[in-house]
Structure 1
Amino acid sequence: MKKLFAIVLLALPMAVHAQKVKPNVHVKGTLKNIKDTLSIIYANYSANGKRVVDSANVVNEQYAFNINVTEPVRVQFSAKNAANKKARLTQRNVASVFIEPGIINVASVDSFTNVSVKGSKAHIEFEKLNLASKPYESQMQELYKQYSAYSKNKDKVATDRVEASIDSLDEIQRENVYGTYLKKNPNSPIALYTLKTYSGYELLVDKVEPLFNLLSSTVKSSPAGLEFKAKIETAKLTGIGREALDFTQNDTLGVAVKLSSLRGKYLLIDFWASWCGPCRRENPNVVKVFNQFKDQGFHIIGVSLDQPNAKEKWLKAIHDDQLTWTQVSDLKYWDNEVAKLYGIQAIPQNLLLDPDGKIIAKNLRGEALGKKLESIFSKQTNVKSEVQSKGK
């Protein structure tokens, strides 16, 4: 289910504390009639390719942030309840605001999420986009509730039906909301953000590049624009029909494994990690398919995005999930060299290669992988039968 995986596992770089540089954005926040007693406000945003987390104390129902960014950026503000410092964050104390260079006034009235923003044209456009998305998001939340209920009852037929509905609604929302907005507002200060939302974690070049080309030259040449352009180029190199980019990474014993050395079989490059819940839930499906087709010319190379100093967790997951195929990792988390080479922004993800090393399918999960391999190997069997019949 593309939408579900994108929400759960959208990849972000590791967070760092705000650096001491000259700020050009001054956020002034005020709280009024808030039921909770809020003590600390956190600001979570992306700047210069890194995720930044900063904090500010609430004094007399006010807080302030000085931020250095050169382009409009979406900041997620979250509030800590002074009465219960260990309480987990909830939707009622999280708010998203688009900031840009200048003085930004953010006022929360009655609830932390009920914000009004002054001084940011980008946020005005952000609100327009959210308003257009609201009907779809309401439908999506209802579908998620149904999916959760059916999953608890282990009703596979119903969950499959809801999955299809979620993917269909997601596609409609992308085109009707984000695609339409971009075509009408290519010079919008949130155009690049909208394009990123439209593209999701699996960037489809044929759909995304034409929209990127609509953006203004200023947006395209911005740091974030150049970064996104690089992702498009990576997606071109890893698209279906292209020869898989070769790489070398060490296995569990520290022995270097080169991708091209595994040619001659249908090969699945499987990106996963021991800490990734959806990956671990998908592993039984992969194990089943591997055992079914391994003697017919199918193999897997798992590329783990496990964290530094977490080799034991990686090895334990391999053992517990009975992953008996080739496993490699550099234990660099999201900085895994192979993941960066292939533009992986979320896991689980996979690519299916033919015996010559060409990519023939991507992100086959659940029954889809088994069906694809069944189709491949049944055709091979039919061809062999025909050849044998002609030989007689």
Structure 2
Amino acid sequence: MRYVEVSTLLKNGFKPMKKTVLTMVLALPLAVWAQEGAFKIEAQIKKSNDNAKAYLSYRTGNGMEQDSAVVKKGKFTFSGTVQGPTQMTITYAPTGKLDRRAAQGADSYSLYIDKGTAKLVATDSIKNAKISGAPLSVEYAQYAKQLEKTTKGMAALDAEWYGATDEQRKDGKLAERLRGLAGPLMEEKERVQKDYLAQHPTSYFALLALQDLSGSQLDVAFAEPAFNKLSAEVKSTPAGEAFNKRIVAAKATAVGAMAPDFTQNDVNDKPVKLSDFRGKYVLLDFWASWCGPCRHENPNVVEAYHKFKDKNFTVLGVSLDNPGKKDNWLKAIADDKLEWTNVSDLQGWKNAASTLYGVRGIPQNYLIGPDGKIVASNLRGEELHKKLAELLN
């Protein structure tokens, strides 16, 4: 359940802020509510070293933020204001230093807080602390407790994978075994989250569970009824409203729906409309030069393009490359031999077309028929070839 990794904190370089000043909003969509609240975290580690320090880390819309506090007689405090429920990670460093060796087995505790005072009490390890006080923090601890088995199980599999040699990772047997072990854990996590969602319709974390269950490819048949069962208060939050927009976008891009039209510039800065391709089968392909899985899938799309391009089929690539990165986009097009029309507004994840289609993960694609209706979506590998052969041969 920990989103803020200690290794990331170290990689970026730790730069303490002015103490007790923490103005932040979490970048995750679910971490935004309406009101600003003052908070305090009071912690006590009964068996603490004299030189110990505590580090607070969290994400904001501007990236990673950190703070630190000296542990005095086993106690330390963080305080400030937040714009709504924010997930934070507290890491305890017995020697006062947070080095890479310490990060490998970091003693850390994650909590959500929006307002009020959260109290943590631990014996000698912050990760085993008991929390009280701020209701949201207590509620999150209860939610995380239900997922503890699967969280620890997945962490153990991650540790085994990253602890393996390069030869073991390349062999394939290790990955196959770990996938086999991960399957039941993911099924158990899904079961727990669905139960929580059904039993706690007024909880912020029911919405969090729903978002996690929905992933990047939202299933309207599951998500819409589940969302409708949440309380009016939860649904009316900015997080709830954002999720509702995802549902609307998913319904607009479902199989059988008319593909939403849009216009973006091609590589020569000339505007291109999706509807310009009416009369052909079009694979609307969302990708980016920086996306490894996209680049891995590109050869398959190239193969399909050459196999079916003379049978009333083409591809329209929409890149989520970032501002100022046009050269990267053009180089990837050339390197991967993407001979079809490519467009982008170079706004990264704020790409207007991807936002219109509710894209939250790439690669993602939609196969659109000559009449402008969506025929299929997320066709990968051999599935793409089979579907095109079914329609065009």
Q: TM-score, normalised by structure 1?
A: 0.76
Matched, 1:266 2:287: no
1:180 alignment partner, SS class: helix
| Structure 2 residue aligned with 1:188 | 203
- In the TM superposition, residue 126 of structure 1 has moved relative to its aligned partner by 3.1
**CA 1:131–1:290 in structure 2 vs 1: closer, same or farther (change >3 Å)?**
farther
Q: For this pair of structures, how many residues does the alignment match?
A: 353
Shift of 1:52: 5.8
Does the Cα contact within 8 Å between 1:201 and 1:346 map onto a contact in 2? yes
**Contact 1:192 / 1:225 at 8 angstroms: preserved in 2?**
yes
Over 3 Å counting, the alpha-carbon distance change for 1:202 and 1:376 in structure 2 is: same
Distance in 2 (CA, whole Å) between partners of 1:285 and 1:151 is 24
CA contact under 8 A between 2:50 and 2:71: conserved in structure 1?
A: no
Alignment-derived partner of residue 68 in structure 2: 57
Structure 1 residue 42 displacement after superposition: 2.0
AA in 2 matched with 1:99: I
Instruction: Give the whole-Å Cα distance in 1 for the aligned partners of 2:264 and 2:382.
Output: 29
- Tell me: higher relative CO, structure 1 or 2? Use CA pairs within 8 A at least 6 residues apart: 1
Cα shift at 1:162: 8.3
The question of whether the paired residues in 2 share the 8 Å contact of 1:29 and 1:63 is answered with yes
CA distance in 1, matches of 2:157, 2:54: 36
Give the counterpart of 2:316 among 279, 295, 301. 301
Alignment of 1:16-35 (within 5 A): 18=23, 23-28=37-42, 33=48
What amino acid is aligned across from residue 115 of structure 2 in structure 1?
P
- Counterparts in 2 of 1:337 and 1:131: CA distance versus 1, 3 Å: same
Are the structure 2 counterparts of residues 307 and 29 from structure 1 closer, same or farther at C-alpha, using a change threshold of 3 Å? Answer: farther
Residues 370 and 236 (structure 1), Cα distance of their counterparts in 2 relative to 1, 3 Å cut: same
* 8 Å CA contact 1:98, 1:120 repeated in 2: no
Distance in 2 (CA, whole Å) between partners of 1:214 and 1:164 is 34
1:68 equivalent to 2:82? Answer: yes
Q: 1:356 is matched with which residue: 365, 371, 382?
A: 371
1:122 aligns with 2:132: no
Match of 2:113 among 85, 99, 104: 99
Q: Distance in 2 between matches of 1:93 and 1:278?
A: 33
- On the 8 A contact 2:203/2:234 being kept in 1, the answer is no
Q: Secondary structure at the match of 2:147?
A: helix
**Identity of matched residues, %:** 37
Q: Report the equivalent of 1:8.
A: none
User: Do 2:367 and 2:375's aligned partners in 1 also have CA atoms closer than 8 Å?
Assistant: yes
How far the C-alpha of 1:140 sits from its partner, in A, is 5.5
Which stretch of structure 1 is more off in the superposition, 209-218 or 126-135? 126-135
CA gap 1:124/1:63 in 2 versus in 1, 3 angstroms: closer
Unaligned 5+ segments in structure 1 are 1-16, 379-392
Of residues 235, 240, 247 in structure 2, which corresponds to 1:232? 247
Query: Which whole-Å CA distance do the structure 1 matches of 2:67 and 2:287 have between them?
Result: 36
Structure 1 contact 43–78 (Cα < 8 Å) conserved: no
Question: Aligned with 2:218: secondary structure?
Answer: coil
Flag structure 2 segments of 5+ consecutive residues without an equivalent.
Answer: 1-21, 26-34
What per-residue deviation string (whole Å, max 9, x for no partner) do you get for residues 121-149 of structure 1?
A: 33444344334434445666688778x98
Query: 2:51 and 2:386 mapped to 1: Cα distance?
Result: 52
Q: Within the alignment, does 1:277 sit opposite 2:278 as a pair?
A: no
Runs of 4 or more, structure 1, over 6 Å off, are 34-37, 78-82, 84-89, 141-146, 148-151, 161-169
How does 1:1-392 map onto structure 2 within 5 Å? Answer: 18=23, 23-28=37-42, 33=48, 40-44=55-59, 50=61, 53-60=64-71, 62=76, 64-70=78-84, 72-76=85-89, 83=97, 92=106, 95-106=109-120, 110=124, 113-137=127-151, 152-153=170-171, 170=186, 173-174=189-190, 176-378=191-393
State the alpha-carbon separation in 2 of the partners of residues 19 and 98 from structure 1: 13
The offset of 1:377, in angstroms, is 2.2
How much does 1:293 deviate? Answer: 1.7
Any conservation in 2 of the 1:243–1:358 contact (CA below 8 Å)? yes
- Structure 1 pair 259–77 and aligned structure 2 pair: CA distance change class (3 A): farther
